[in-house]
Structures are given as structure tokens and as C-alpha cells.
Amino acid sequence: MIILTIPVLFPSVMALDLWASTRRQAICVRILVLCVVEFGLIAPPVGLNVYVINSLARDVPMSEPIAA
């Protein structure tokens, strides 16, 4: 996911020139992208963790980890 989004996201955010230092802006963009990707992997609707839990506990239905 990061490999697909960074080539598009990073240059466009760097062109906005939000902070005084470009190095600081680059670090903030990287941290933001990591947080967004981490949340996307944890979030219940299509979270990767739901599939991992389901593969470990075969007797638990797929909808139960989502509801919990």
C-alpha cells in the first residue's frame, strides 16, 4: 500500500509547502502515511487483523471478531 501511494502523495504534499523546513515536512508526511496505513490495517471492516484472527481460530465465524 505504501509503495503505491507514496509516489503520488509525497510530491503533491511537498509542493504544498506547508511548513518552513522541507526536511520537517518530509518527516511529517512519512509519519502521517504510516499512521494512516496502520489504521487501515487495524480498522474492522476490511482489517487485516480480522483475517489473521480467523485463520488462527477456525471455529470462530468471520463476523464475530468484527463485532467485538
Tell which residue, 6, 66, 9, has the closest CA to residue 42: 66
Average pLDDT, the chain: 79
Residue 44 φ/ψ, nearest 5 degrees: -60, -40
Residues 32-60 have pLDDT tens digits of: 888 888 887 777 666 677 777 778 888 87
68 has a pLDDT exceeding 70: no
Give the Cα separation of 42 and 36 in Å (integer): 10
More confident residue, 11 or 49: 11
Is 70 exceeded by the pLDDT of residue 10?
yes
Instruction: State the DSSP code for 6.
Output: H
Show Cβ contacts of residue 19 under 8 Å, excluding neighbours closer than 6 positions.
Answer: 25, 28
- Residues 66, 12: Cα–Cα separation, whole Å: 35
